[in-house]
Structure 1
Amino acid sequence: MVLRSCWKSRHKNTSGSSPCWIRPGLAALFWLCVTQLVCGGGAVGETTNVVQKDAEFDVTYNDTVTSENQTIYAFNHTISRNKGVRVTVDVLSQNLKSPILFVVRQQQAVLSFQVPLILRGLYQRKYPYNHVGRTLCQPPTRAISETQHFFIDVSTLSSQGTNYQLRVSRVESFTLQTDKKFSFTASPSQPQYFKYVFPDGVDTVIVKVNSAMNFPCSVMSIQDIQCPVYDLDNNVAFIGMYQTMTKKGAITVQRKDFPSNSFYVVVVVKTEDEACGGPLRFYPLRPDELIDAGNRSKVVDVVVSPAINSEVYVMGMLFCLGIFLSFYLLTLMVAYVMNLKSFTASYRLNSVILNLTQSRPSERSLDSVGRSRQESLSSVEEDDYDTLDDINSDKNIVRTKKFLCVSDLARKDKRVLSKKYQIYFWNIATIAVFYALPVVQLVITYQTVVNVTGNQDICYYNFLCAHPLGALSAFNNILSNLGYVMLGLLFLLIVLKRDIVHNRAMVRNELNALECGIPKHFGLFYAMGTALMMEGLLSACYHVCPNYTNFQFDTSFMYMIAGLCMLKLYQKRHPDINASAYTAYACLAAVIFFSVLGVVFGKDNTVFWIVFSVIHILATLLLSTQLYYMGRWRLGRFTQRQTMVYIVYTDCIRQCSGPMYIDRMVLLVMGNIVNWSLAAYGLIERPNDFASYLLAIAICNLLLYFAFYIIMKLRSGEKIKCLPLVCILFTAVVWGFALYFFFQGLSTWQKTPAESREHNRDCILLSFFDDHDIWHFLSSIAMFGSFLVLLTMDDDLDTVQRDKIYVF
């Protein structure tokens, strides 16, 4: 009954050029009745004058609307695949108590909006817009063109007359052309969208949106050809793929995701700039207060270009495999040459020994030396990692010698030490399994969320060079981590070969293996190779969806690699007193713990930076004391404090002329200067990227210790053979290039996603890899080279008695 009364009222007062029941406006009147009732229109039977007009394109209509005077504009037009229709409305009256409702009814869609258009920002702040422009949805058509009717109904609940202007125009350039830049202007109340159709032979395109203006913040969206089109700030994230942008935006679109072989490129300007890192606006004093948004127009350029084809994917993968397989081939060649030289040298040595044996009997054969050495080895497990056989010599007496030799600090049972250092490998293997499994599960979830929601702000890719493959959004960033895994495995094979050769020499009781050279312990090397492989796996996981919450995946094993390298350097000359695996990994766990705290709480947190700086300085002092006194000083009971006082007295007070261990003192002073400077820098500057800051501390200490080791090795009269020298020079050059590409900064999760995209760049290698991929290539090669330096650096000492090799 209510609907019937409403219909009679409308029909009775309809006027126009012809009766409404013989025109398409019949359906319009029915819809208007329903709208009026649902929206709380006048009482049943209330007299309302509904006027229907035949309207034309590109004509501005100046009219007045009240609650008793409503207008229907009827348009008859030809729908074309390459053209669109845009409706522009201006409300001329100010301080409206009731807005004007505009309802656009098409054959397959309905679009409604009110003017003033109220858009909400952060904290529900309200921004009114009196000028509104909307593009009408263009549903897919079978024919090239079709003739259709659409109607614009204008109504209000205000009893006072409200003036408005209405204009409908055709969008001539509605379809974007491949590789052609198209410019337009958008604002919060005047969003823009355009159509793109995949050309034949193109399955993937990249949509690039650029603007010379940082702000206002905007959103780019890719939506399927369907109605309605979500083109307002409050609904643009409902469907499709979308991302915020300031100056740059890019989305890779695949034909398989759009059944109609076409899509809309939607650009919406946001009402506020907080999402793009802009300043926060003031909070309104009253909840219903309206805020003047000002001029938020933005000029935007759009270019749609074909993405790479399958041939480029294949070339990229073959290039990646080829680079790292070449290292396997090079290793085989070097091993062959070295084995040939070793065989020749061994033949000559055996000839000399045979001649000497025939000329005079040997006083002590190699077999007897080997047997005596093996008989002296104890099978008892050590209770403390710093235990020496005090029956033969007190460790304090040995370690206080001004010039220590490796034989003084290589007195423990070799079998015990081998088991101790093998724990490094087994522990890191266990850590890797338990660390990697949840990481893989988490990043798969991240990628799934990105694919399902279409939110491109979740992951911080270099969108200008992000090539998808299957469910992965940036396959190239994942593939480039292959070098860490392959070179880590190659290093493990090299270490295994050396381990086997050394064990065979021990079984043969060779004098060089038993009494000469740096003691061969391979557990830390195995741990380093495993850490390098895990760095590749976790870096690949991180690049599945790089963001603020999972950056520690990419850095955790970097800390471990730096720590293991320093431990290996120290172990070379101090095999008896190196830290146990449990102590070392506990310290590395503390570092990772602080890394997470710094990322989550460190930004502009004064208390955190003070606490961290104090802990950093105290840890540096304690480690310096431990290294200087070579483990003889400990915090503990009263008797041990007496020992500490005695050591300080003998080494500092009685030695008035200077420190007893000059070389160690120089290293530790330089180390303290560097670490105190880094602590002061962190406390003053408070860098946003705390994880990288912490990694810089570890790398600086490693480089300082490595430089000290090289200098002291040369000072001690030792030589660096050709192979490690080539490795040192090659690695230094590669590290230099690697750091150059690392600091290009193609994205950064310390900023908003939109600000991060400002740093995005195009691919620079094979149209497939970007600067960060090259960093992956070069850094994996540089790490592998660094490991080889550590492995081969003391090969010149393999024939030198350990009591002639200095400790430093």
Structure 2
Amino acid sequence: MVLRSCWKSRHKSRSGAADCLLRPGWTVLLWLCVTLVACASGVVGETKNVVQKDAEFDVTYNDTVTSENQTIYAFNHTVSRNKTEGVRVSVDVSSQGSESPILFVVRQKQAVLSFQVPLILRGLYQRKYPYNHLGRTLCQPPTRAASETQYFFVDVSTLSSQGTNYQLRVSRVESFTLQTDKKFSFTASPSQPQYFKYDFPDGVDTVIVKVSSDTNFPCSVMSIQDIQCPVYDLDNNVAFIGMYQTMTKKGAITVQRKDFPSYSFYVVVVVKTEDEACGGPLPYYPLRPDELTDAGNRSKVLDVVVSPAINSEVYVMGMLFCLGIFLSFYLLTLLVACLENKRMGKRRELFQNPADMSPAETGKTPASPYEYGSFADNCSTLSSEAITDSATSTDNNYGYMERTLDSVGRSRQESLSSVEEDDYDTLDDIDSDKNIVRTKKFLCVSDLARKDKRILSKKYQIYFWNIATIAVFYALPVIQLVITYQTVVNVTGNQDICYYNFLCAHPLGALSAFNNILSNLGYVMLGLLFLLIVLKRDIVHNRALVRNDVNALECGIPKHFGLFYAMGTALMMEGLLSACYHVCPNYTNFQFDTSFMYMIAGLCMLKLYQKRHPDINASAYTAYACLAAVIFFSVLGVVFGKGNMVFWIVFSVIHILATLLLSTQLYYMGRWRLDSGVLRRIVYVIYTDCIRQCSGPMYIDRMVLLVMGNIVNWSLAAYGLIKTPNDFASYLLAIAICNLLLYFAFYIIMKLRSGERIQCLALVCILFTAVVWGFALYFFFQGLSTWQKTPAESREHNRDCILLSFFDDHDIWHFLSSIAMFGSFLVLLTMDDDLDTVQRDKIFVF
């Protein structure tokens, strides 16, 4: 009977089985032998004892399994369409040293879950961690019926010939479905992950899932997954689908209803086998990659709460608030401009000189509301002698006392097409007299404003055109890169790529943190407003030159607006690049946020220096080359600076040498050469001035500034060498800001010391800007996230929104810092307005 059944079973599926009896006899005998052996082996395989038991929930089953027996536990439970209950399978294997693990297979209606015990999870360097106690929650596929009874089976088997004891328990999970705004506590471990279901209530489109713990370690992962089977809830597969992020104490993910067709999702929490991903130490480095390591006790108590996020009305309020703040500056500027025009109109009626007479012919000086002290007297005497000497050189001489207003008017009408930047010194006396003029003990603006206005205007316009070109070529690849970053985040679901403040990150479209991008609007709008203010002043000044206005021609600080245009453009680009950085903030693109900050600081210092030194200020090419070097070191510092002492030594040496070279350049007004004989000249100066006659410095004020500047920069270099701060970009920016503040303070002190005064508008701008900078720095140092640490450690600093439930502390920093920068620019633009009616040979250079 056995042979007959075997013959039928072996041949009923074969084509041509009916022809088997027609073959030769020996072939039939051979085929019968093969079939007999196969059937015999099948009979032997079927000798394994299979036992099926009807099992119940919340009952612990103690049993033993070997290769000769297999146990099947049959469970049934009622599933309701309106209620989801979790089912959890817990397994504990007490036997050690078994040659084969136990395999558990859970067969459900629409899913199969299998796992072995001991469970082997791998960590860094392929280390293996065994776990003998497991707890897994079963996937619950949805049902369309109002109520139905579902069956599932737990199969227990092994290939080990030795008996292995195990415990099996199946229980229902209480509070498997999370409730809105209700905290739920649970315990998880690497071998006992947990996940829960959340259903979007009606009227709620976005929620924030927050998971927290009182302890940093062990490191864990929270994941948001769609309702499907299987659920990826182990350390080695949790990143396969959905959104996920590592966490220590805090984790938060914003979930949108539109991303889940069933309007529900799973919140999965997995404890990792190692803490390296969260910044923790590795407990043990194995001698061999395949060596088993004791997993230890890595259970963690966590809390989860799901809260509704903001609705569309809050988005609209946030955008209107942002626009309203900065549009108010436009209205305020328009009001101040109207009042200023009315005041200047009355002033021109009182003090305007005849248009065809120079101050020398009228015997009067332009109206000045005050008299200057000894500095101005010395400047006036010395510069008059120099002007008298240079007045006889040529008919085109730009002497202040001999050149007529008609010639000035004609020169303004000439075409600028033939003017080249190389033609800086257009006067015959420039090359012969500048060594004498620039080395006088007391200098006036007239001594350093001797070059043709057309040449200087074109020279400083290059600043604007260069920075506009840099902005285009810099911004386009940046925008492309951050779009790629955001796409990668959205596709992979890896929330560790970007360092957001996840407790206040409001998505819009493909953007994960729209509020951080929107708050940068102030830089763009206020930068544009500053450009409009500068353009208005430029037009007014050109009109004054055309009508041969005395004050515009021979009084005040020379008006060159190229650097101001460059500053306004840099402020707008700072807003654009900061917005790009906040699309996906991390350490690889932090230089996007700081590059134009370096440029703004550098341009402000250049503008301060240009006010009193228009003839000898740096060219745009030199300035941008230096700024490019700064940005280059910023990138090197971010990539290689962390803990690299060689880099810090090299940078500190370069920093000190650059400070010394710049100090020499400023002290001697550019009248020195960096060549092979520089060391010999330095020794000679030290010998003659310090040893032989011990004379003091000729230029006391400049020496005081440069000594203070060297003290500050040497101190910063020493700090960097000793502390080696991780955030090199911020350290470099601090150097730039400290130097700018030092020079600005020196400028204000020397301005007041020279008998000059600060007008009301400039004074209001200074006080307002100082107060706003103070509040801005307070919010900047709140530190809601930091890419200097791991993403999990960065999330420990996350905090909720504090303004309109839409903006966080860093957004307020964006608001205030943009206003403060705009105010700083206005200070530079207006601080010397008191000199507009003062002859340049009475304005002191410092």
Is the pair's TM-score, using the shorter chain for normalization, greater than 0.5?
yes
- Give yes or no for contact 1:86–1:134 (8 Å, CA) kept in 2: yes
> Identity, % of aligned pairs?
91
Q: How much does 1:10 deviate?
A: 18
Q: Structure 1 pair 387/291, CA: closer, same or farther in 2 (3 Å)? A: farther
Structure 1 residues 162 and 738: alpha-carbon distance in aligned structure 2, compared to 1, 3 A threshold: same
Shift of 1:7: 16
Verify the 8 A CA contact 1:388 1:395 in the aligned structure 2. no
Q: Distance in 2 between matches of 1:460 and 1:89?
A: 39
TM-superposed deviation, 1:46:
5.5
Change (3 A) 1:687 1:29: farther
1:236, CA displacement in angstroms? 0.2
The structural deviation recorded for 1:648 is 6.7
**Compared CA separation, residues 705 and 457, structure 1 to 2 (3 A):** same
Which is worse superposed, 643-652 or 512-521? 643-652
Q: Is the 8 A contact 2:373 2:755 kept in 1?
A: no
Are the counterparts in 2 of residues 89 and 133 from structure 1 also a CA contact under 8 Å? yes
Matched with 2:626 is 587
CA contact (8 A) 1:742 1:775 kept: yes
Match of 2:392 among 361, 367, 377: 361
The C-alpha deviation readout for 1:79-136, integer Å capped at 9, x for no partner, is: 2467710000000101222100000000000000000000000011000000000000
Give, in angstroms, the shift of residue 633 of structure 1. 1.1
Rounded to whole Å, the distance in 2 between the matches of 1:530 and 1:58 is: 70
1:103–1:43 CA distance, 2 compared to 1 (3 A): farther
* Cα drift, residue 249 of structure 1: 0.2
Structure 1 residue 349: Cα displacement: 22
Rounded Cα–Cα distance in structure 2 between residues aligned with 1:693 and 1:626: 25
Indicate if the aligned counterparts of 1:192 and 1:268 stay in contact, CA closer than 8 A: yes
- Of residues 38-47 and 492-501 in structure 1, the stretch that sits farther from structure 2 once superposed is 38-47
Residue 472 of structure 2 is aligned to residue 424 of structure 1: no
Q: Kindly tell me: are residues 720 and 301 of structure 1, through their superposed partners in 2, closer, same or farther at Cα, counting changes over 3 Å?
A: same
Deviations 1:45-81 (A, max 9, x none): 3521110000000000000000001100000111246
**For 1:10 and 1:76, how far apart are their aligned partners in 2?**
37
Structure 1 residues 216 and 391: CA distance shift in structure 2, 3 A: closer
Contact 2:515 2:811 in 1 (8 A): yes
Residues 321, 22 of structure 1: alpha-carbon distance in 2 compared, 3 angstrom cutoff: farther
Shift of 1:415: 0.4
Provide the rounded CA distance (Å) in 2 between the counterparts of 1:696 and 1:27.
Answer: 94
**Bigger shift: residues 9-18 or 702-711:** 9-18
Residues 459-468 or 367-376, more deviating: 367-376
Deviations 1:754-804 (A, max 9, x none): 000000000000000000000000000000000000000000000000000
Mark the CA change 1:61 to 1:364 in structure 2 (over 3 Å): closer, same or farther: closer
Distance 2:21 2:144 in 1: 30
Cα distance change on mapping 1:38 and 1:222 into 2, 3 Å? farther
Cα separation, 2, equivalents of 1:172 and 1:17: 59
* Structure 2 equivalent of residue 294 of structure 1: 296
Distance 1:361 1:295, change over 3 A: closer
- Aligned-partner Cα distance in 1 for 2:476–2:557: 38
3-state SS in 2 of match to 1:77: strand
Q: Quick one: distance in 2 between partners of 1:29 and 1:260?
A: 62
Q: Which deviations, in whole Å up to 9, do the C-alpha atoms of 1:578-626 show, x marking residues without a partner?
A: 0000000000000000000000000010110000000000000000000
Measure, in 1, the Cα distance between the counterparts of 2:821 and 2:240: 45
**Residue 350 and residue 78 in structure 1: after superposition, are their counterparts in 2 closer, same or farther (change >3 A)?**
same
CA distance in 2: counterparts of 1:192 and 1:227, whole angstroms = 15
How far has the Cα of 1:280 moved from its partner? 1.9
**Equivalent-residue separation in structure 2 for 1:25 and 1:708 (angstroms):** 116
Alpha-carbon spacing, 1:373–1:65, altered in 2? closer, same or farther (3 Å): closer
- Does the 8 A contact of 1:518 with 1:572 survive in 2? yes
Change (3 A) 1:384 1:205: same
CA distance in 2, matches of 1:24, 1:775: 95
1:275 and 1:725 map into 2 onto residues whose CA distance is 52
Partner Cα separation in structure 2 for residue 44 and residue 295 of structure 1 = 44
Change (3 A) 1:366 1:395: closer
Deviates more, 1:462-471 or 1:143-152: 143-152
Q: Which string of whole-angstrom CA distances, capped at 9 and with x for unpartnered residues, describes residues 168-203 of structure 1?
A: 000121000000000000000000000000000000
CA RMSD of aligned residues (A): 7.5
Please list the CA deviations of residues 436-492 of structure 1 after superposition, one character each: whole Å capped at 9, or x if unmatched. Answer: 000000000000000000000000000000000000000000000000000000000
Query: Alpha-carbon deviation of 1:283?
Result: 1.9
**Residues in 2 aligned to 1:124 and 1:60: alpha-carbon distance in whole angstroms:** 35
User: Which shifted more, 25-34 or 46-55?
Assistant: 25-34
* 1:209-251 deviation digits (Å, cap 9, x = unpaired): 0000100000000000000000000000000000000000000
Distance (whole Å) between structure 2 residues aligned to residue 24 and residue 594 of structure 1: 89
Whole-Å Cα distance in 2 between the matches of residues 143 and 573 of structure 1?
86
From the superposition, tell whether residues 571 and 97 of structure 1 become closer, same or farther in structure 2 (CA, over 3 Å).
Answer: same
Is the 2:421–2:458 contact (alpha carbons within 8 Å) kept by the matching residues of 1?
Answer: no
Return 90-99 or 32-41, whichever deviates more.
32-41
SS in 2 for 1:381: coil
Quote the Cα distance in structure 1 between the aligned partners of 2:28 and 2:251.
41
Aligned counterparts of 1:527 and 1:534: Cα–Cα separation in 2: 10
Does the residue aligned with 2:365 lie in a helix, a strand or coil?
A: helix
Q: Report if aligned partners of 2:88, 2:172 keep a CA contact under 8 Å in 1.
A: yes
**TM-score, normalization by structure 1:** 0.89
Displacement, 1:634? Answer: 1.8
Matches of 1:379 and 1:660 in 2, distance apart?
A: 41
Deviations along 1:633-654, whole A, 9 cap, x unmatched?
121xxxxxx8878877776667
Deviation at 1:714, TM superposition (A): 0.3
Change (3 A) 1:32 1:392: farther
Separation (CA, whole Å) in 2 of partners of 1:55 and 1:486? 70
8 Å Cα contact 1:506-1:514 kept in structure 2: yes
* Closer, same or farther: CA 112–437 of 1 in aligned 2, 3 Å: same
Change (3 A) 1:472 1:376: closer
**Higher Rg of the two aligned structures:** 2
| Distance verdict in 2 for CA 1:209–1:42, change over 3 Å | farther
Change (3 A) 1:88 1:599: same
How many Å apart are 1:146 and its aligned residue? 2.3
Q: Is the 8 A contact 1:10 1:29 kept in 2?
A: no
Q: Are residues 518 and 58 of structure 1, via their aligned partners in 2, closer, same or farther at CA, if it must alter by over 3 Å?
A: same
Shift of 1:361: 27
Asked whether the equivalents of residues 21 and 28 of structure 2 are also in contact (C-alpha less than 8 Å), the reply is: no
In the alignment, the residues of structure 1 paired with residue 434 and residue 392 of structure 2 have an alpha-carbon distance, to the nearest angstrom, of 38
Instruction: Summarize the Cα distance change of 1:350–1:127 in structure 2 as closer, same or farther, 3 Å threshold.
Output: closer
Does the alignment pair 1:410 with 2:426? no
The 3-state SS of whatever aligns with 1:296 is coil
Give 1:683's aligned residue: 721
Residue number in structure 1 paired with 2:710:
672
Change (3 A) 1:384 1:368: closer
> Are residues 708 and 387 of structure 1, via their aligned partners in 2, closer, same or farther at CA, if it must alter by over 3 Å?
farther
Contact kept, 8 Å, 2:500 with 2:584, in 1: the verdict is: yes
Equivalent position of 2:488 in the other structure: 449
| Cα distance change of structure 1 residues 349 and 254 upon mapping to structure 2, 3 Å threshold | same
Structure 1 counterpart SS, 2:430: coil
Q: Is the 8 A contact 1:217 1:270 kept in 2?
A: yes
Structure 2 unaligned regions, length at least 5:
338-363, 375-386, 394-401, 675-679
Could you tell me whether the CA contact under 8 Å between 2:61 and 2:169 is conserved in 1?
yes
Unaligned runs of 5+ in 1: 336-340, 636-641
Q: Could you tell me how far 1:715 is from its partner in structure 2?
A: 0.3
Q: Does 1:621 align with 2:660?
A: yes
How far did 1:400 drift?
A: 1.3
* 8 A Cα contact 1:5 1:45, kept in partner: no
Would the alpha carbon gap of residues 145 and 633 (structure 1) be closer, same or farther in structure 2, given more than 3 Å must change? farther
- Cα gap change, 1:802 to 1:157, in 2 (>3 Å): same
Give the deviation of 1:286 after TM superposition: 2.9
* Contact kept? 1:6, 1:44, Cα under 8 Å: no
Following superposition, the deviation at residue 418 of structure 1 comes to 0.5
The answer to whether the 8 A contact 1:379-1:413 is kept is no
Q: How does 1:647-666 map to 2 (within 5 A)?
A: 656-666=694-704
Distance in 1 between the 2:831 and 2:192 partners?
Answer: 68
Displacement of 1:394 after TM fit? 1.4
Call closer, same or farther: CA 1:48–1:723 in 2, change over 3 Å: same
State how far apart, in whole Å, the 2-side matches of 1:613 and 1:646 are. Answer: 28
Judging changes above 3 Å, is the alpha-carbon distance between structure 1 residues 713 and 617 closer, same or farther for their aligned structure 2 residues?
Answer: same
Of 217, 221, 226, 2:219 maps to: 217
Q: Distance in 2 between matches of 1:577 and 1:467?
A: 50
Deviation sequence 1:650-698 (CA, Å, 0-9, x none): 7666773311111111111110011001001101101000000000000
- Mean alpha-carbon deviation: is it higher for 342-351 or for 288-297? 342-351
SS in 1 for 2:457: helix
